[in-house]
Amino acid sequence: MGDVTAGRAFVIAELAGRKEHLRRAWAQDETYYKSKYGGFRKSSGVLIQRLGLWMDDFFWGHGEKLWKLPISAAIILTAVSALAAALWLSSATNPLVYDLASTFKSYLIYYVSLFLDAPTTENPRRFVVIDWVVVIFRYVSLGVLVSGLFRWLSHR
């Protein structure tokens, strides 16, 4: 309830402030940041926070930009398919380029089907850890989508 546009502007301003704070903490140009974030442990903590904030923005736009969700899903599913095909390649003897492309396509179809929870006829060699990553990403994406749609539809 209230002014949704101002609420979103506030969230975007807060995120921009957080990014600037972490940038300054990482650069340590000012004496405050040198004393507060000096040393390897604190600098690495700042780096992890910066990477987390960047990933949150890149993959789903902090929940404010739902159009980034299908793009990130395509990138992640392509990446896990490439990883699975590379793992298959490491165990194959005399693989051909055609075999690798065919295996990548098979894994891509399998992981897209797993992400959408749709039945598939593809049955490549499975990697349980990668399957779990895809399933967890499915539920995180669903939560971000529902949250974003709720925010979008709930204002008057």
Q: Render pLDDT for 120-137 as a digit per residue (tens, 0 to 9).
A: 888 888 889 999 999 999
For residue 73, the model assigns a pLDDT of 92
Stretch 28-48: mean pLDDT:
89
User: Which long-range contacts (C-beta less than 8 Å, at least 24 apart) are formed by 116-123?
Assistant: none
Q: What is the pLDDT of residues 101-115, one digit of tens each?
A: 899 999 999 999 999
* CA distance linking residue 130 with residue 135, whole number of Å: 9
* CA distance linking residue 107 with residue 68, whole number of Å: 23
pTM equals 0.72
Stretch 10-25: mean pLDDT:
89
